Structure 1
């Protein structure tokens, strides 16, 4: 894997985003010279019915999840290493502030166990980053859903013991409470028990990355993971393929036979009530609007069909989550501004069709 070139990547990502939208992602944010780093707390104005414009300045979330009981979205911050609670009206407040978190990427609400699971990463762009040594932080933390207090936070680099760079892109949880985490930069799937004890579930060349993001990262691999019926993990690869991993026999991992690949780079997924998966593919490389796709399984996820059900104008849209009622929302977190070193005034949640 080539060494990360952050300064070149900043320009590259910004150009792609501008090409896709015709403007920067910040809709009405402060000038480029502003040094504002904290989200403004308050009620934002809804300009488009159904679209939630979150008033979280410079939060830059990559992932989020929705808690139906409290009617709250929880979004991670790549800039602050925090998790923010987002109300349906766009109000933003800090919920988790753990000094161990450098950047909070994946966020998953586990209501059954009253916890929020968060992946800890380091792109080299956060306030707590080691700017000269990105991608050497990799972990998962468990936090009390109500208070935001840490229960445990595990360092997965100490489990991998391979000296490689790591990026824990996503997490999922099985019905027994076991957490599974996937690494975007190595072909490693981690298993974490309810007490925070971690081990390697699988290392397999099938999970090696093949997607290159010019002048930023090469060999980008696993981007999202979802536990599904049959005690299996469905892993989305950034190149648009899917891999099925039986939890009880991970060595039997196989590619899912798709009628067509998902768009690349595939970013985030959510499990739908009928057992299908909604996935978002970012327009980061193409400059086109992000695609929302429905993946319908056959034969226990050995095969699946893929169809586009919606699009989101913001190219760098990185996740999908449940919302109030039967809605699904896509997250556009302003990540191009983050890579370009620019501030922004918030982020957007857009309702999308998944049927």
Structure 2
């Protein structure tokens, strides 16, 4: 029998406020009255919200990762050069900083090793930290404890090729803890091992983009290779870890253009989400031949914003809307295909 809070006369019964709150909490959260909840957990929390609007002015985040253990997002900042956290209620807090972090770009949460890795660059967006010596030259990997934010290592990458311009962009981590970092201004993928030793993993003229943005998003595939996106052409590359020089181009289905390719997210071995900032679209890509070819199986339009990258949260994916360097806020939005 369905019990209503309405009396037979259809006039509302004025129950004590605490009774109503208990009933609402029990009904909405599926928690029987009397079951204890953590005091700091919002009673009316919405699981995996559709959108989180973060009122932090001029943050201009580029990278994002969801930290499942701590129920928070980790975001970077082109304009401030810090790492920060965002919770579902828009609570924003600084996680890590260092004077050498001019602009923080791509972020990778290596949860199993309790560390967060961030690519560091300088294209002039952080006006308080940019210098003539670092502008278009800074490329580094900073590694922090993902719980405390303590700096674990700072690894110079640009010094491996000092004559070139640099923009360290995105990061993938393989099963052994090696990090791979793309450079959007030089035709290079770097490798940084667990000891912090940096090397040029792969350098090839096919990655050159001239003055445009080149290599961008990168992910590690559990079958032992990297998938790497080149922004200006929309090309996807498959790079075997064991033999990077044998890399191949992933053939896109007829009519599929991935220009503006930025962040990548591998949701399962056959499915890749690709964010195209210039197309204002997130593509869901599928491959049934170990990424020799790829086709689109769905899109998510982001509207009048250029999204940057995307992160997995349970079975959902959230895309980052940075807006501009002077915007009063940024948003984290669930991508629905």
Residues 306-350 of structure 1: per-residue CA shift (max 9 Å, x gap): 244211113311111113x32111111123xx2xxxx32220011
Q: 2:253 and 2:133 mapped to 1: Cα distance?
A: 43
Secondary structure of the 2:112 match is helix
How far apart are residue 352 of structure 1 and its match?
0.8
How far apart are residue 274 of structure 1 and its match?
4.5
Residue 276 of structure 2 corresponds to: 281
Is residue 228–residue 275 contact of structure 1 (8 Å, CA) maintained in 2?
A: no
For residue 223 of structure 2, the aligned residue among 219, 230, 237 is: 230
| Unpaired runs of at least 5, structure 1 | 1-45, 211-217
Is residue 263–residue 274 contact of structure 2 (8 Å, CA) maintained in 1?
A: yes
- Is 1:201 the counterpart of 2:201? The answer is yes
Q: 2:155 and 2:68 mapped to 1: Cα distance?
A: 27
Residues 180-226 of structure 1: per-residue CA shift (max 9 Å, x gap): 0111111111110012110011111121226xxxxxxx232111111
Secondary structure of the 1:219 match is coil
Secondary structure of the 1:345 match is coil
- Is 1:313 the counterpart of 2:303? The answer is yes
Is residue 291–residue 308 contact of structure 1 (8 Å, CA) maintained in 2?
A: no
Secondary structure of the 1:257 match is strand
Q: 2:140 and 2:275 mapped to 1: Cα distance?
A: 24
- Is 1:248 the counterpart of 2:242? The answer is yes
Residue 53 of structure 1 corresponds to: 53
Equivalent residues in 2 for 1:211-230 (5 A)?
Answer: 218-230=211-223
For residue 259 of structure 1, the aligned residue among 246, 253, 267 is: 253
TM-score (norm 1): 0.77
Q: 2:277 and 2:297 mapped to 1: Cα distance?
A: 15
For residue 270 of structure 1, the aligned residue among 260, 265, 271 is: 265
Residue 334 of structure 1 corresponds to: 323
- Is 1:349 the counterpart of 2:332? The answer is yes
Residue 150 of structure 1 corresponds to: 151
Q: Say how many residue pairs are matched.
A: 288
Is residue 174–residue 227 contact of structure 1 (8 Å, CA) maintained in 2?
A: yes
Residue 191 of structure 1 corresponds to: 191
How well do the aligned residues superpose, as a CA RMSD in angstroms? 1.9
Q: 1:131 and 1:191 mapped to 2: Cα distance?
A: 27
Q: 2:257 and 2:185 mapped to 1: Cα distance?
A: 20
Secondary structure of the 1:310 match is strand
Q: 2:336 and 2:132 mapped to 1: Cα distance?
A: 39
Residue 304 of structure 1 corresponds to: 294
Residue 66 of structure 1 corresponds to: 66
How far apart are residue 146 of structure 1 and its match?
0.6
Q: 1 or 2 for the larger relative contact order (CA 8 Å, sep ≥6)?
A: 1
